[in-house]
Amino acid sequence: MSTADRLDTFSLTAPPPGFAEDPYPWYAALREHRPMHALAPGFVLLTRYDDVAAVYRSSAVSSDKRREFAPKFGLGTPLFEHHTTSLVFKDPPLHTRVRKLLTGALDQRAIARMEHGVVALVDALLDEMQGRGPRADLIADFAARIPVEVIGNLLDVPHAEREPLRDWSLAILSALEPAPSASQLARGHESVREFLAYLADLVARRRARPGDPAVDVLTRLIEGEIDGERLSPAELLHNCIFLLNAGHETTTNLIGNGVHALLSQRDQYERLCAQPALLPSAIEELLRYESPLQLNNRLAVAPVTLAHATIDAGTFLTLAIGAANRDPARFADPDRLDIARKPNLHLAFGHGPHACAGMNVARLEARVAIGALARRFPRLELDAAPHRDPRIRFRGWRRLPVTLG
């Protein structure tokens, strides 16, 4: 079958065999032959870096997902209400109000205050792994535990109440896949209901005993006022869910993907161990090479002019971040991991007004986590076969067995 024939039938709702394991050959073919690929009438997939970046910058696109999510989740359902109220899927003025409240709590001074706690957490997890013996699961024992604690600390969620957060997050975000199953949707709806009930109680307790808004993001969201307005009760709860979900999933995947990539291309891990000053550029390269969020979406609310075509208003756009970050027109030898790569203007955190508000928290967690692994375990190796998460919007591992060495 020719490349054109294979691409004619390419779909994200029924991806070809092996796509979840390795989407990059398909992305390369789409970039070359079908950079504006019609997924369905009114739905287009973009795979070239310049096109994805242009859409992120465009004022002619919307992040509001009500039109897209109504048939997917059902009007008024828990998933619909959550994903159309949280920061990431809203336009101004709600997006602006919430983002202003958050950015002050996640600025460079706040990041600097957090670092000592992240270092202590990572060291404690590594001590625990080492104490159990030479083998560990780098996801369950390490990568998945870091962001839950960091974001839990930001919202001052009591430690004894954090256990359900990961499962709720995974269920809610799994419903964002291009074609979620009936069971995924049911579990997603139930997780939103359970999460809302928990947060309503937590907010009531925090209103009774407020924290310091300089370090307690929940108190900041409760008390914060932008242009004379505060968040409504529903906006407050759904954006707390968003913070816990987004901060958890992508950072877990960044650490897991990053370690797997380094150990699979051993020369780069050994280079990092020998040259720890490369750690900041290594994190940027790991974000580019295996982007934790592979797909994003926008709606064209007016015609969008790209380099070689104009997209009609009303078109739903799927932005293939994983493809854009491997575009040879932007990155030399893009399928090679190079922890010293510069420049490296990847799109892993998006671009423009919707660029990830927590990007520097994720960078901090990954820098501390991967740096500590390289420092303490220079002979770290992959052990048994890892277990890939089969989702295609979020790219990561469910299990990543390693030998500490």
- What is the gyration radius of the CA atoms in the chain, in angstroms? 21
In Å, what is the CA distance from 330 to each residue of 53, 108, 327, 346? Answer: 11, 29, 6, 9
Cross-sheet strand order for the sheet of 401-403 = 135-137, 401-403, 381-382
Beta bridge partners of 36: 46
Domains of the chain: 3-403 (1.10.630.10)
Instruction: Grade residue 320 by pLDDT with cuts at 50, 70 and 90.
Output: very high
Q: What are phi and psi of 381, to 5 degrees?
A: -140, 150
Instruction: Grade residue 231 by pLDDT with cuts at 50, 70 and 90.
Output: confident
Res. 298: pLDDT tops 80: yes
Q: How far apart are CA 184 and CA 141, in angstroms?
A: 25
Res. 150: pLDDT tops 70: yes
Q: What is the pLDDT of residues 77-96, one digit of tens each?
A: 999 999 998 888 888 777 77
How many residues belong to the chain?
405
Residue whose structure tokens are 């390490």? 142
Lowest-confidence pick of 38-47, 70-79, 82-91, 381-390: 82-91
Res. 3: pLDDT tops 80: no
Res. 328: pLDDT tops 90: yes
Q: What is the pLDDT of residues 211-227, one digit of tens each?
A: 998 888 899 888 886 66
Lowest-confidence pick of 1-5, 48-52, 359-363: 1-5
Q: What is the pLDDT of residues 133-144, one digit of tens each?
A: 899 999 999 999
Q: How far apart are CA 148 and CA 142, in angstroms?
A: 11
Q: What is the pLDDT of residues 248-273, one digit of tens each?
A: 889 999 999 999 999 999 999 999 99
Task: Report the share of the chain in percent with pLDDT over 90.
Answer: 78
Angle subtended by helix axes 165-174 and 145-154, to nearest 10: 100
Query: pLDDT at position 242, please?
Result: 87
Of the candidates 173, 169, 237, 161, the residue with the CA atom closest to the CA atom of residue 199 = 237
Decide: 271 and 230 in contact? Cβ < 8 Å.
no
Predicted TM-score (pTM) of the model is: 0.94
Count the neighbouring beta carbons within 10 Å of the beta carbon of residue 13.
12
Cβ burial, residue 247 (10 Å; 0-12/13-18/19+): buried
Q: How far apart are CA 228 and CA 214, in angstroms?
A: 20
Q: How far apart are CA 198 and CA 167, in angstroms?
A: 14
Q: What are phi and psi of 336, to 5 degrees?
A: -100, 130
Q: What angle do CA 238, 243, 247 make, to 5 degrees?
A: 150
